[in-house]
Amino acid sequence: MNPFAKGQGAFIKITSLTVGLTVGLVLLAKVQLERNYDRCIVDKEHVYELQETMQRAGEELEQHGCTSGGIAPVLAEEIPEVVTATRYTAQFGEEKLTLEDGSRHYFEQAVFADSCFFDIFVTSTLVGEAKQILSTAGQCMISRRLSEKMGGEVVGQTFCFASAPQKPMTICGIYEDYPENSTFARFDILMSMPSVGTYAWDGTENLIGNDRYHSYVRLRSDADMEKVRSEVKQLLQRILPWEDLKQSGYTDAGYVLVSVEGSRMKDTTVRTTCIILAVVALVMLFTAVMNYILVVISSLVGRARQVAVRKVLGAPHREFFLGSIGEAALHLLAALALMSLLLYVGQDLTSDLLGVSVTTLFSRQTFTVLLAVCLIVLLSCGILPGFILSRIPLAYAYRLYSESKRMWKLSLLAFQFVLTTMLLCVLTTIYRQYHYMLNTDMGYQYDEVAYVNVSALHGDSIYSLAREIENLPCVEKTAAAYSLFCERQSGDNVLVPGNPQELFNCANMFFAEGGLVETMGLQIVRGRDFERVNHKGWQPEMLVDEHFAQKMKEVAGIDDVVGQQFVNSSLGNQYPLTVVGIVKDFKMGSLVSREERPIMVVNGNVFTHYIMLKLQRITPENLATVQQLCDHLYPDAELNVKLYSNEMADQYQETQRTRDLVMIGCLASLLITLIGLIGYVRDEVQRRSRELAIRKVVGATESEVQLLFARSIAVIALPSIALGIVLGWYLSTLLMQQFAYKVPLLWYVFAADALAVILIIAAIVFIQTRRVANDNPVEYLKKE
Amino acid sequence: MIKLKNIKKVFRTDVVETTALGGINMEVKDGEFVAIMGPSGCGKSTLLNILGLLDNPTEGEYWLDNVEVGKLKERQRTLTRRGQIGFVFQSFNLIDELTVEQNIELPLKYLGVPAAERKERVTEIMRRMAISHRASHYPQQLSGGQQQRVAIARAVVVRPKLVLADEPTGNLDSKNGKEVMDLLTQLNAEGTTVVMVTHSQHDASFATRTINLLDGMVVEKTLL
């Protein structure tokens, strides 16, 4: 049997297998990479992440992944079951460093890590003595990737970060890059823990507060977890400042050990995304296999005689099985070759969509799964057609084979309709959610807002630059600020002066200049805006949101916070802050996670990292004007003017990726289904051409002939689409769990999805049957 | 009932042009039984298709019941054909997936006859054609003669004014062939106009008039 013989649908079979395998295998590889996340943590079952727990009177216990700096080493010292412990904390990211020779190099992330970092997060040390480097202030190790980018010969050289230009760091070692599917993939620089004090407040020995560290411990393999937990509890009772905590209003505090094994998949977003991707992948593979079998069944009319003749001549059944599997193997190989070509051509797109490179996708980590899938595809595409071929009766050697196998074909089509509808529903939901995220009212206006990261400048320069920018005719207003609204803000506790009890935790935007309210389109509902502080300086006054005022009323019974003084835990008792105004509530952070805390910001131009600017209009010319000014005034600082809306879109990159992947899956599934449907209708038209001609002769109009087909498809399509809607609704519900702010699932949107699928099917059926419905029926009767 | 004026039919492909009918002029009156004879390829079936509104002539006029129908669109041809013209083919052309009863009922359905009346008319015609006992059988379970009787029942169930038969006995033995010709004769006697294409002189003898075709032209008309 020639696997590429004309009339056997080889092109359709290979095309649908290629589409199905490309999308299916890529997505399964991505899921497998997620399942293998952080494989660099060896002996995972004995590694635990430390998580901080805090509870105030009358409030729920809060648990989060960051800890204070000193807790991990204390556990290593005091708990015998702890073999080793480490901690790290991020400091710089996505900026440039300047080497001694003046060359500048972009890096992803720079973190402080202690000397035990590599004991738990294993990778090869290529140059240097890791423990010694990471214990020595002013020394660091860099990734192989960064060293290669910098020219290779960099050990011994010093550099400065763009945002800390006067503080040199020496490169003393190089480590092998962590795999892309790990927490540490973007770590380019590991700075020694004793260097923290050079760049930030040193809280490396803190047992409570300054909780910016990620801490991990490895336990002995025979450790009794109950015993360890009890020992940790006893230790904390001994070492934590309980009196201070109580005075601050805490009823409980501590650390719990959370196993890192499977922790990635416990994350709702990751788990949901993986489920969606796995479903899309399986849908694609299943649809492609179904389509393959459908085409084989459809092509039996042209093949039956040949098979029957072979049987008459004595061919055993196994010949058809082996032939069928061999044919499927050749088609599969052709599809895999085409898939490789597609991935090679579209590797950048694939990397963008999945956040990992194509080489990582098809690496040793995923090989077994992908091979298993290919084998299943091969057997599915080979065995069932082989079974059907082996059952073709001998009589067809001399008779026309017109057995319809309609139920087979319609069942396969039904599956495809279900899956395509389901994916379309998920796609619509995720598309609406993404649109909602980008367009929902955040409580502030950023359509005309741009910003410049000015971490590389000092306070005075920031103030001057902000005013220079404000003087441009295309700029309406500017304000320097410590953070962007869409970023996750640090937490700070709020107190009434003279009272040690911490009332509540709020999102502290730290400092921002007068003008922020106007620049970001906030609304003052009571009191006044900040008055701008000249040059580098600050005023002990703050703006708060309505939530803050409401919370203060509930917790402290203060009816009107305007004019009242409060203390925050960062600035301390010596700097009480007066509330000068209340702004209307707005959404801080992103819509993925809800910011539950009240918000505060202090009036000042210190520690500001950004200049926010509201343009008359966002145009390339206006942005270029601002950029030219920045380049002119600070040519060495590499300041970049960026759109705030792009920053917002970046917050939803994962959602966008999922949307794009589901869209590709949906389109591919639709394509395969349409190929299957076209093939089915074409074969049915051919098989039933005589019947149709007779119907026309006895009085059926062309539309009645077309309706006959449409009805036979509708019988299977409508229930399938209904089932697809139900499954799509379920998956959409699952998908929406990951968003704090979500679009409602509307029945009529799902109805529109169903209608779209029905219309597409109807269009295919009507186009395909148009010819036979319009042709002279006698032509078809003659063929008989 | 039928009047053809200079009917021509030319089949064209990319490379060749074939004249099937070269200018036919003929007339069939109400209640006639006309046989069309001629050698293979002379244009008999083409003529019958044009008469049955299955195809349009390339040129000329076709008047059916004083209406010019030679240039109708496909849909108009179908609507005109419905209920007016019945067809009987040499190879029966029954739908294998439908029972005898369903096959006969089909034209009534397309004509929009209500279900109760359909049932009544189908039962009546099956009784008349002596195939009532085969009502729920499928065509392949019937003999050739029975299949042709079903085909005739289907052709006449709508009570057409005109029945067109294309070699109706070509696939039957002489006994079954005679039964079919008797049925057509009976229909004609009841007032139905019958036009039959045949190779058989014997079958043509049942007709009241014979039209002979040769190379797409009427060469002789015989009135019996």
pLDDT in tens, A149-174: 998 889 999 999 887 888 899 999 99
CA A426, CA A662: separation in Å to the nearest integer? 7
Residue A144: band (very low, low, confident or very high) from pLDDT cuts 50, 70, 90: very high
Q: Is the pLDDT of residue B221 over 60?
A: no
d(CA A108, CA A90): 11
Q: Which of A129-138, A323-332, A769-778, B137-146 has the lowest mean pLDDT?
A: A769-778
Instruction: Report pLDDT for A241.
Output: 86
How large is the average pLDDT for residues A630-642? 88
Which has more pLDDT, B112 or A61? B112
Would the pLDDT of A141 be above 90?
yes
* pLDDT for res B222: 53
Confidence band for B3, pLDDT divided at 50, 70 and 90: very high
- Segment A551-577 mean pLDDT: 89
In this predicted model, what pLDDT tens digit does every residue of A715-768 receive, in sequence order? 889 999 999 999 999 989 988 887 888 899 999 999 999 999 999 999 988 888
Closest CA to B54 of B38, B74, B34: B74
Query: Residue B179: pLDDT above 80?
Result: yes
Query: How sure is the predictor about B150, in pLDDT bands with cuts at 50, 70 and 90?
Result: very high
- pLDDT category at B224 given cuts 50, 70, 90 is very low
How confident is the prediction for chain A on average, in pLDDT?
86
A701/B79 touch (CB, cutoff 8 Å), yes or no: yes
Mean pLDDT of A515-534: 90
CA A216 to mean position of chain CA atoms: 25
**Tally of CA atoms within 13 A in the half-sphere of A445 that contains its CB:** 13
Q: Which of A399, A406, A698 to mutate to test the interface with B (most CBs of B within 10 A)?
A: A698
Distance CA A642, CA A648 (A): 11
CA separation (Å) from A86 to A205, A215, A217, A628?
13, 6, 6, 45
What residues does A218 pair with on adjacent strands? A47, A84
Q: What is the pLDDT of residue A405?
A: 63
Indicate the SS3 state at residue A441: coil
Cα–Cα distance, B198 to A136 (Å, whole number): 110
- Which residues face A643 on adjacent strands? A450
Going A109 to A110 to A116 to A118, the CA torsion angle's sign is positive
Report yes or no: B60 and B70 within 8 Å, Cβ to Cβ: yes
**Of the partner residues B74, B87, B95, the one whose CB lies closest to the CB of residue A691:** B95
Token pair, residue A408, equals 């087979």
Whole-number pLDDT of residue B34: 93
Determine phi and psi for A106, rounding to 5 degrees: -80, 140
Q: What does the pLDDT average to over B41-48?
A: 87
pLDDT digits (tens, 9 = 90+) for A431-454: 898 888 888 888 899 989 999 998
Q: Which of chain A's residues have a Cβ under 8 Å away from the Cβ of B87?
A: 697-698
Kindly tell me if the per-residue pLDDT of B187 is higher than 50: yes
Contacts of A405 (CB under 8 A, 6+ apart): A297, A300, A388
In degrees rounded to 5, what are phi and psi of residue B105? Answer: -70, -25
Helix axes A10-35, A653-687, angle to 10 degrees: 150
A656 against A87, higher pLDDT:
A87
Contacts of B82 in chain A (CB under 8 A): 699
CB-based contact A359:A267 (threshold 8 Å): no
Q: Which residues sit opposite A379 in a β-bridge?
A: none
Q: Is A696 an 8 Å CB contact of chain B?
A: yes
Cα angle A196, A199, A204 (rounded to 5 degrees) comes to 25
- pLDDT higher than 70, residue A503: yes
B120-137 average pLDDT score: 91
Decide if A692 touches B, using CB distance below 8 A.
no
Whether A695 has its CB under 8 Å from any CB of chain B: the answer is yes
Contacts (Cβ under 8 Å, ≥6 apart) of A289? A17, A20, A377, A380, A381
* Amino acid (one-letter) located at A270: V
Strand-pair partners of A497? none
- Find chain B residues with C-beta within 8 A of A697's C-beta: 52, 54, 87, 93
HSE toward the beta carbon, residue A546, CA cutoff 13 A = 10
Distances from the Cα of A87 to the Cαs of A49, A50, A137, A182, in angstroms? Answer: 10, 10, 16, 16
The whole model's pTM is what?
0.71
> A774: which chain B residues are within 8 Å (Cβ-Cβ)?
74
Which chain B residues are closer than 8 Å to A691 by Cβ? Answer: 95-97
Amino acid at the residue A523: Q
The answer to whether the beta carbons of residues A403 and A300 sit under 8 Å apart is: yes
User: What are the beta bridge partners of residue B89?
Assistant: B166
Q: What is the 3-state secondary structure (H, E, C) of A293-348?
A: HHHHHHCHHHHHHHHHHHHHCCCCHHHHHHHHHHHHHHHHHHHHHHHHHHHHHCHH
Angstrom distance (rounded) from CA A764 to CA A650: 39
- Chain B residues within 8 angstroms (CB to CB) of chain A: 45, 49, 52, 54-55, 74-75, 78-79, 81-83, 87, 89, 91, 93-97, 106-107, 110-111, 154, 158
Mean pLDDT of chain B: 88
| Residue whose pair of structure tokens reads 């906030």 in the numeric block | A522
- Range in A126-135, B77-86, B136-145 the model is least confident about: B77-86
On the question of pLDDT at A142 being above 60, the answer is yes
Q: Which of B93, B106, B159 to mutate to test the interface with A (most CBs of A within 10 A)?
A: B93
| Contact partners, residue A327, CB within 8 Å, separation at least 6 | A1, A3, A382, A385
Residue B223 confidence (pLDDT)? 47
Q: Which residue has the higher pLDDT, A406 or A611?
A: A611
Number of helices (H), then strands (E), belonging to chain A: the values are 26, 22
Q: Which of A711, A751, A693 is nearest to A410 (CA)?
A: A711
Facing residues of B14 across strands?
none
Contact A212, A203 (CB under 8 A): yes
Residue in B with minimal Cα distance to A696: B78
Closest approach of chain B CAs to the CA of A734, in angstroms? 46
Residues A731, A736: Cα–Cα separation, whole Å? 9
CA gap A603, A510 in Å, rounded:
8
| C-alpha neighbours within 13 Å on the C-beta side of residue A270 | 15
CA A543 – CA A541 distance, rounded (Å): 7
What was the pLDDT predicted at A688?
A: 81
**SS3 call for B93:** coil
Q: How far is CA B79 from the centre of its chain?
A: 16
A406-439 helix and A702-736 helix, angle to the nearest 10 degrees: 50
Higher pLDDT, A408 or B92: B92
The whole-angstrom separation of Cα A580 and Cα A519 is 18
Percent of chain A with pLDDT over 90: 37
Coil vs helix vs strand at A522 = coil
Please report which confidence band the pLDDT of residue A681 belongs to, taking 50, 70 and 90 as the band edges.
confident
SS (H, E, C) A140-171: EEEEHHHHHHCCCCCCCCEEEECCEEEEEEEE
Interface probe, candidates B40, B110, B158, chain A, greatest A C-beta count within 10 A: B110
- On whether the CB atoms of residues A423 and A728 are closer than 8 A, the answer is yes
**CB count, 10 Å around CB of A243?**
9
The DSSP bridge partners found for residue A452 are: A611, A641
Q: Report in angstroms the alpha-carbon separations of A304 from A8, A59, A113.
A: 11, 75, 70
Work out the angle at residue A113's Cα, subtended by the Cα atoms of residues A140 and A45, and round it to the nearest 5 degrees. Answer: 135
Q: Per-residue pLDDT averaged across A135-145, rounded?
A: 95
Cβ burial, residue B107 (10 Å; 0-12/13-18/19+): buried
Question: In the predicted model, what is the mean pLDDT of residues A646-656?
Answer: 83
The residue behind tokens 């008359």 is: A616
Cα of first residue to Cα of last residue in chain A, in angstroms, is 27
β partners of residue B9: B21
